[in-house]
């Protein structure tokens, strides 16, 4: 039955116009390094990439909650992303998915591909005509792959960094990316980077299934910028948790979340604002007024916004207390 399913899925690809038998030199480049990985605790799956090419994440990184992630690079066959995920959804292992995709592609010798599924199974491929230095390493619940590298030690440095790192999946993947760059990275330099992380199981809502989805399209130091954005992303996750706490009337919990957000992103004025509002709702008017005074000096419109919070009951203080905050 298993092999029959493979045959059926392969035939469906042919009949639905997925067969790509002609290799074209017009296909997009993404000579690059990347990682696909799965967190064994949370089950989250991710793919991260860097290249000396504009907007590399728009073509290389693919993922679907409860299914898996794909990195398609070198002379990119973009269809490997959605088709690879479709094959996984139809019950194929990453190994069978990779072999099926390559079987249908006459450009296979210049492709580089990695696929990881929701169970941590992973398969990678480096075509024999990929520009050296090129190669990949498959590890436990992850794979690293690279081509057109300055040194042939880049992907081994990535694997070692990932295996020895701690923290969230995003942090560990970023550690591998930093290790690649430290080892020399892309021989041409650096330009763009991306990271995509999806949940272990689908919620049924696509907007909730992505844990992280960040891209640096054009930057002199894309990995550093991606690191900065990831910190801000984490800070806003705390802000979102704070907002949810406000919705259920738990201002004490909201204060805690907003405080964590500020610690990660201390210069963000809006985070300071909502923290101050939470303090006011908790009756801590002196501290709230101190923070708001600083905000008013930078932008008087924060005063206007405060007054707009009364009607929807996001600010639940007396008129006298409101006047104290505004003056």
Query: How would CATH label the architecture of 2-18+27-220?
Result: 4-Layer Sandwich (3.60)
Residue 30 confidence (pLDDT): 63
Q: pLDDT tens digits, the chain, 327 residues: what are they?
A: 444 444 444 444 443 444 444 344 456 666 799 999 999 999 999 999 999 999 999 999 999 999 999 999 999 999 999 999 999 999 999 999 999 999 989 999 999 999 999 999 999 999 999 999 999 999 999 999 999 999 999 999 999 999 999 999 999 999 999 999 999 999 999 999 999 999 999 999 988 999 999 999 999 999 999 999 999 999 999 999 998 998 888 888 988 999 999 999 999 999 999 999 999 998 999 999 999 999 999 999 999 999 999 999 999 999 999 999 998
Q: What is the CATH number of domain 236-326?
A: 1.25.40.10
Residue 218, Cβ density class (10 Å: 0-12 exposed, 13-18 middle, ≥19 buried): exposed
Please report, for the chain, the start and end positions of each structural domain, with discontinuous segments joined by +.
Answer: 2-18+27-220, 236-326
The CA angle 20-26-27, to the nearest 5 degrees, is 55
| Residue 65 · residue 198 · CB < 8 Å | yes
Residue 28 confidence (pLDDT): 64
Instruction: Report the mean per-residue pLDDT for the chain.
Output: 91
Report DSSP state, residue 73: E
**Rounded-to-10 torsion of CA 149, 131, 78, 124:** -70
Residue 113, Cβ density class (10 Å: 0-12 exposed, 13-18 middle, ≥19 buried): buried
| Residue 100 · residue 92 · CB < 8 Å | yes
């Amino acid at each position: 039955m298993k092999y029959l399913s493979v045959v059926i899925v392969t035939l469906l690809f042919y009949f639905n116009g997925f067969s790509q038998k002609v290799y074209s030199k017009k296909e997009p480049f993404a000579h690059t390094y990347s990682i696909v990985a799965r967190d064994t605790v949370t089950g989250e799956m991710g793919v991260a990439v860097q290249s000396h090419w504009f907007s590399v994440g728009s073509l290389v990184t693919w993922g679907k909650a409860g299914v898996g992630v794909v990195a398609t690079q070198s002379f990119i066959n973009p269809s490997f992303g959605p088709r690879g995920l479709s094959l996984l959804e139809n019950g194929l292992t990453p190994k069978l998915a990779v072999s099926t995709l390559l079987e249908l592609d006459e450009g296979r010798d210049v492709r580089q591909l990695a696929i990881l599924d929701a169970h941590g199974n992973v398969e990678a491929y480096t075509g024999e005509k990929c520009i050296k230095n090129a190669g990949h390493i498959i590890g436990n619940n992850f794979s690293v792959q690279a081509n057109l590298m300055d040194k042939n030690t880049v992907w081994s440095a990535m694997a070692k960094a990932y295996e020895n790192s701690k923290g969230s999946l995003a942090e560990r993947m970023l550690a591998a990316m930093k290790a690649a760059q430290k080892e020399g990275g892309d021989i041409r330099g650096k330009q763009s980077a991306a990271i995509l992380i999806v949940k272990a199981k689908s919620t049924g809502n696509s907007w909730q299934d992505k844990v992280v989805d960040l891209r640096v399209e054009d930057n002199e130091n894309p990995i550093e910028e991606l690191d900065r954005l990831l910190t801000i992303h984490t800070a806003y996750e705390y802000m979102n948790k704070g907002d949810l706490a406000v919705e259920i009337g738990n201002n004490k919990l909201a204060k805690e979340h907003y405080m964590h957000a500020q610690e990660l992103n201390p210069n963000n004025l809006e985070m300071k604002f909502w923290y101050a509002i939470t303090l006011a709702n908790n009756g801590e008017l002196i501290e709230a007024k101190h923070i708001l005074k600083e905000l008013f000096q930078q932008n008087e419109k924060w005063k206007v916004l405060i007054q707009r919070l009364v009607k929807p009951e996001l600010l639940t203080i007396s008129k006298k207390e409101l006047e104290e905050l505004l003056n």
